[in-house]
Amino acid sequence: MATEMSDDIADLLGRKFEMWKHMYGSATAEDLRSRALKALSEAGDADPAEILAGVEPEYDFDDDPVSRWG
């Protein structure tokens, strides 16, 4: 991967960041974005969507209030 991110990857990261802010809060989203940028810079030709999915925490469905009452 080039040192500068393509527009498609930047857009994907931006959308993920907005989702992370909604799901985890701003501080955690900033941390996830930092980890994602580092992973993307080290990834070479790997699929950016897979890299971004790899930095997301596992969602605990057992702790989800909707699932518990579902």
Provide φ and ψ at 65, rounded to 5°: -60, -35
CA 7 to chain centre: 16
* Tens digits of residue pLDDT in 40-58: 888 888 888 888 888 887 7
**Interatomic CA distance for residues 44 and 1, integer angstroms:** 5
**Interatomic CA distance for residues 62 and 70, integer angstroms:** 11
Per-residue pLDDT, 65: 53
pTM, to two decimals: 0.67
